[in-house]
Structure 1
């Protein structure tokens, strides 16, 4: 609604508005673009027009949804899941992602899985076996190894530590 209101206020015509995307009927002038960008920044939103940048955002959002907002990670390969959701060849997605971010999609997924594991450890409702299953790890040892690689701490130490360092999702 916010984006719609701002587009209407500026007088920009659009075909559709779907979460995170607007299909414009015409290309905005420099002044219209500047007005829209300024209006969106006031509300903490960012205007993206670069197709690669938008694709990377879609990849990141798909991974965040997959890892943080599903009850259980899909039992298909990450590459198949992402490729299906974004409707692009995974090799292309992986190349664009690593060129633009300097990180592979798999490393991005691992970082998010470890953040999710930290969250689940802090909730103290599941044991490591249940967490490893939920996050689609082949074993507790696999989860523990990745946890130590990413955080420098064992999962057990993290659970019992006096401090708990979590990273905001947008900074992973």
Structure 2
């Protein structure tokens, strides 16, 4: 395994601590992000045990593969919702995820927040805003059509959420010469 998901790693200071401790153990790192460390080489069980013991001192916990898979499933379901079927969602987001993953939503929410440093709802909003940016840049649909496709209750709701996340109104964003979008894996 070349990556580990780490629970309670939710801020820049956490990243600095984890990076420092792993460098002391002389592990070659590719990246250290909120909730996730990627190594250049595979880790042995001994390596994982040593890392786990070292990080527990700081309140961090290595997640097992089941929890890592659950987080990835949540992200995949949310991305699919936004990209392919947002308008067809007839349940609440919490009911949808609980039903799809056959787990209690509060458990899913706590796991996701602890590892990713952001709530499921906030992550979902960020995905939707990135999709709005994409659709604005393509300039094929009106804002009301975008609002309908992405299941917003109104254009005003979409505009308010867009401005809250980006700092710009959708119309100002459309006028900007350099539309800066984020890759989905950077959310």
TM norm. shorter chain > 0.5:
yes
Give the match for residue 60 of structure 1.
75
RMSD over equivalenced CA pairs, Å = 1.9
Look up the match of 2:84. Answer: 69
For residue 162 of structure 1, report the CA deviation from its aligned partner. 0.7
Does 1:124 find its partner at 2:124?
A: no
Alignment partner, residue 43 of structure 1: none
State the secondary structure of the residue aligned to 1:72: helix
RCO comparison, higher one (Cα < 8 Å, 6+): 2
Deviation of the 1:71 alpha carbon: 6.6
Do the aligned partners of residues 140 and 125 (structure 1) sit closer, same or farther apart at CA in structure 2, a change above 3 Å counting? same
Within 5 Å, give how 1:39-54 maps onto structure 2. Answer: 49-54=64-69
Q: Which runs of 5+ in 1 are unaligned?
A: 1-28, 31-47
Equivalent pair of 1:83/1:89 in contact (CA under 8 Å): yes
Equivalents in 2 of 1:71, 1:78: separation in Å? 10
Taking the aligned partners of 1:73 and 1:164, their CA distance within structure 2 comes to 28
| Structure 1 stretch displaced more, 51-60 or 110-119 | 51-60
> In the alignment, is the contact (CA less than 8 A) between 1:67 and 1:73 conserved in 2?
no
CA distance in 1, matches of 2:177, 2:137: 11
Task: Specify the SS of the correspondent of 2:87.
Answer: coil
2:86–2:150: 8 Å Cα contact kept in structure 1?
no
Q: Show the counterpart of 2:115.
A: 100
Q: Which whole-Å CA distance do the structure 2 matches of 1:129 and 1:147 have between them?
A: 13
| Contact 1:73-1:135 within 8 A present in 2 as well | no
The unaligned stretches of length 5 or more in structure 2 are 1-43, 46-62
